[in-house]
Structure 1
Amino acid sequence: MARLAVPGLLAGLATTGLVAVSTGATTTAQSGSSTGASAVPSTTASAPADAVTREQGTSRGGSGRPALTPAAAAQQKAAAKAKAAKAAKAKAAKAAKAEAKKAEAKKATAKAGALPEVDLPSLEVVDTEYTRVDLNVREGADADSDLITVLKSGSKVPVTSTVRGAWQYVAYRGDGGWVRRQYLVESKPQPPAAQKPSSSGSSSSGSGGGLSGAACSAGSSVESGLTPDAIRVHRAICAQFPGVTAYGGVRADSLPEHPSGRALDAMVSSNGLGQQIANWVRANAKQLGVSEVIFAQKIWTVQRGSEGWRGMSDRGSATANHYDHVHVTVYGNAAG
């Protein structure tokens, strides 16, 4: 610090005040007294060195935090990158899930609104056959399919080569339909022969005189458990139609007739023979104690006898539809 000369006009202040001389960052007080008063510390003292260093370090970082080391900075950068990748992956998965859900909904909507595919076989006729019974023609190869028409027994039917299980595709009036193959035959069936009285002189009326009551030559085991009327029917059919050798009697069934012994089944191998038996039993119903006759998907009952043979719904098989047997229900012992 250089000493400065003090002008004379300020000499009077030497004894009462100080003259401050500033050079740089520090100020030194000089006494104007001739007696050499002690120097007084400056009112603006210098900042400690460590505080200056800290301030310089903070201002150098520029963010209010100490600067990261290279290793810490690299680690922080890697963590941020991994976090961003994870977020991107989750976002992509969410988007994919949403797209899949949208596609599934679109597929379901299309399926619900789409018309069913129709597989129409060829109508190319490969042969001609005949119906051996009144035969249903349906739109599909299914007993529950819509009915197109019913072909009379003996009808000529143009058939195709298309077969699905028990069903065959046939041509009908320029269109196609499905029929059960088992009811088609190669040659036209002959109409049932006119009913002839038996050698014992049976007739369609009377009190039962002339109807045979002798044990069946083919065996009487089926009569076990049958009611008197059912036994009477068995022996009469056996005598009148000796070609029939198989019968059904008491058996488990959802309906009460067979389990109670009030029903008999006469098994037949042809539609013509079956119809003859059905007509003959119906004609002698009173003498035999018969209440009901079923054959070839048709039924006749005493209660509605004036209506003749009535059609029945399709039950799906030859046996269920009574094409292979004549079913006879009796009262029990009405003719006894």
Structure 2
Amino acid sequence: MTQASKPGSRRKPVVRDPWYVRARRHAAVMAGAASLSVAAVATLGSTSGTVATASAETQVAASQGDIVTEALDGSAPVRASRSSAERAPLPSTVRAEARIEGSKYAQKTVPVRADSAKDSPVLATIAKGKTLQVTGVTRGAWTQVMHNDLPRWVSTELIGDSEPKLGPTEGTISTAACARGSSVESGLQPDTVRVYRAVCARFPQIASYGGLAGRGEHATGHSLDIMVRGQLGWEISEFLQANRIELGVSYLIYEQRIWTVQRGGEGWRSMSSRGGDTANHFDHVHVTTFGSSGTL
């Protein structure tokens, strides 16, 4: 039975959105659903990738074994280090000596270069008369040498088989103890010791020296006699003159002639005869020093 409407009441009309509003709402709902689906798929893929990666890492770790256990039982494999692989090799004295085939003398001051080219950096210089260890390898006008246990290059024309004759100011002045012994140094002044060591190193053919004695400046340790004859004596004298400041030389006597620092501008001056060869210094160069003024 149909219920009658109460007198005086009216049904409210149903108001519906226009069709285009409903269409927009439906499109928004569909877009949201699509976004949720994509996110879910991405999450699932990411989770699967993480699981796969973790699984791969687990397999690698399992294949490598426990590092601590391996270290204790000595079975740990040698694993390469990238940093060590990129590091330049350290010099090896053993390997360097194995490459040496001989030696050469520096005929002049020799620049030691990193490579066999004139524009290659100069890493060191070798003084005239010093030896260089060669490997037997050449490259054009260059010879390979071992310097500080590493292969380097020098100009072939600057080295040779024979020891060169050094000029008075060439080479280095040695302060090392004389290979003939230090007994001559007993009682000598510091400058006189400098003279002895420098001459001993530069002129190893000298076999005899006279040091402390009971006469004149020999008694105070200021003088040294270098037993020599002929031209070699003049070469020694020139060496001592050229290095007088470093060695603290005061004056020289040889073959009845004298040279002093105070009157150096006059050169060598003649002396009156004192008798035999020894008294007139024909068999030795006499050196007198200031005592302790040398700069070496």
Shorter chain as denominator, the TM-score bin is 0.3 to 0.5
Greater Rg over alpha carbons, structure: 1
Q: Could you say which structure has the higher helix fraction? A: 2
TM value normalised by structure 1 = 0.38
Task: Identify the structure with bigger relative contact order (alpha carbons < 8 Å, sequence gap 6+).
Answer: 2
TM value normalised by structure 2 = 0.43
